[in-house]
A = this chain, B = another copy of it.
């Protein structure tokens, strides 16, 4: 049995910071494409994806439902129920691949963590989930490092730009169009997005 990879996911009106570029329906489809990329990567790394959704949606995945406002409470209720290892990985990491995820799961420490851009936490991997609790939002990376220290857990900070790069802002789409290899890149390109270079700065443009 593969260990679970919990993936928090918001199927309705996600990624609002991309609203200037994508309609709500497009953002929902884009978020699903990114989720598919993350699921493919964790499966390739021999983990079993479990969606932690803000509401049920039509998919064949194992799902647990969370209330949109209580990600922390829901995850902290789940963690002690697991006796084996657990990963928590965000759904907006379309550059994730099996190699980067295996760097996380092969840690020799009690846990591994991958910081997100801007102080967030993109991946947590716990060998003894009951000894840890999550505290997402804000500078969650620093909070999680402190929680680990207080719990006496040794921590590996995994140095990966593939797992560090969460897609939140329009400029993040540049990374996906350069380094992506999965469904979310294909989806964006299908909408007409391409790289643009203006005065040496690289951005994205939408051609149709």
Chain A contacts to B: CB under 8 angstroms: 99-100, 103, 115, 117-120, 137-139, 141-142, 159-165, 171, 174-175, 178-179, 195, 197, 200-202
Contacts and interface: CB of A to CB of B under 8 A. Distances in A.
A102 to B, nearest CB: 11
Q: Is the interface of A mostly helix, strand, loop or mixed?
A: mixed
B202 A115 contact: no
A202 B63 CA distance: 30
A178 B138 contact: no
A115 B197 contact: no
A10 B166 CA distance: 31
A117 B200 contact: no
A133 to B, nearest CB: 19
B100 A197 contact: no
A190 B119 CA distance: 21
Output the residue of A137, A178, A197 with the most chain B CB within 10 A.
A178
A141 B179 CA distance: 10
A115 B161 contact: yes
